[in-house]
Amino acid sequence: MALRCLHLRDSNPVMWERLLSLESHCEERKKTQRYEADRTTIAEFVRRFFCLQDFDEEEILRICGIIQVNGHEVPVTDPPHVAVYDEASLLEHSCRPNCAKSFSPDGGLIIHTVEPVLKGQHLSICYTDALWGTANRRHHLAETKFFWCSCVRCADPTEFGTYFSAIRCLNKLCEGYLLPEKSLLEEFDAESVSWQCNRCSASEPSGRVFAILERVGVALSRMQKGDPEVCKRFLEEYASELHPNHYYLTDVRIALAQLHGQTGDTGLPGVSDHDLSEKISLCRKVLALINALVPGEHRIRGVLMFELHAAVAEEARRASNQGQLDPIALRDSLLESKRLLMEASLLLRHEPETLPEGKIALQARRNLADMNQLLQNIHASIGDMPL
């Protein structure tokens, strides 16, 4: 990609100037290992191997910085590629953004709002993973984008009352949760800040808290997420150490919610009643959390709504077959399933069909047609009641 960018100087001077107008943070990058690695593996290599002596190291490293700071990973190819969209670089960052990004099949960038935007309000996207904890998000932004985030979410230790990064109080007799006393410090200062319980006011050094998070994080990284039973054991083992909404537990719940119905040959109809009920509970719990925390996560929300629609419909089918639902109650359950389908389709409407989310959007549209037909049949059998 660096070569393609350098080629613009002679092949497309207008595009070259647009590229150079973007921030490179070269002075900050000089303090990082990444800068030295780019100097030896890119700048020196390009000048020597391709005999591009008319580009000096500083020019090449500036391009590397522009790519690092402004690049977007585009998932529509295999493997994914990185692209720079200069207009998208005008959008500011927020860990609770009011815009989301999708990609067209040919790699175009689509920015769409995810909530009403008032006149004069800034447009924002998330430069990092919005489902990471505050410390991880801020560290990643400092390492890759060279700023310490102070958005409204990062400034709130409770993350809008979700306690997404909190751990349980280390006093076993207390039912409170530990939160950092200051959440906007830079990394060096953050290592010395204390975490305080929101109930008993006990204070713990950050080192002790980070040791717990590192231990659980290592266990998560080594966990086999494709096995529902392994996911369940993880949730059971670490529920006593983390807040129920903690990002580690949420990550596993998202995986488990999708695994129920996908690991066997029979699909959702072959899932036990217990696991079906658990799937519904997991989807509802995670959706409520994400809606409060970061509604801009449209892909996860869309996928979970699709999973929930199928589970709600399957639960209604079983109850109806067992005589536990009359036609009106069945219709009401199917109407909820239809609502979830419509919202999933809306959230995933910009996803290309080459991606899993795009395939789910396509399936959602097909399922919606089948659902409408089923509801019409029920409507015909129970009389003139609005659907």
- pLDDT recorded at residue 191: 64
The burial class, CB within 10 Å (0-12 / 13-18 / 19+), for 217 is middle
Please state, in angstroms and rounded to a whole number, the distance separating the CA atoms of residues 126 and 93: 5
Please state, in angstroms and rounded to a whole number, the distance separating the CA atoms of residues 293 and 165: 12
- If DSSP codes are grouped into helix, strand and coil, which group holds residue 257? helix
Task: Work out the angle at residue 344's Cα, subtended by the Cα atoms of residues 158 and 245, and round it to the nearest 5 degrees.
Answer: 20
Cis peptide before 157, with omega less than 30 degrees from 0?
no
- If DSSP codes are grouped into helix, strand and coil, which group holds residue 83? strand
- pLDDT recorded at residue 186: 76
- pLDDT recorded at residue 189: 63
Cβ pair 344, 365 in contact under 8 A: no
Please state, in angstroms and rounded to a whole number, the distance separating the CA atoms of residues 7 and 57: 15
Rg (CA), the chain: 25
Please state, in angstroms and rounded to a whole number, the distance separating the CA atoms of residues 102 and 244: 30
Q: Say which DSSP state 268 is in.
A: G
Q: What is the mean pLDDT of the chain?
A: 93
Kindly report the pTM of this predicted structure.
Answer: 0.92
- CA distances 297 to 78, 157, 196, 248, 315, Å, are 23, 20, 30, 17, 27
Cβ pair 83, 22 in contact under 8 A: no
Tell me which residues of the chain have a pLDDT lower than 70: 187-191, 264, 383-387
Q: Say which DSSP state 344 is in.
A: H
Q: Letter for the amino acid at 279? A: K
SS (H, E, C) 272-294: CHHHHHHHHHHHHHHHHHHHHHC
- pLDDT recorded at residue 387: 45
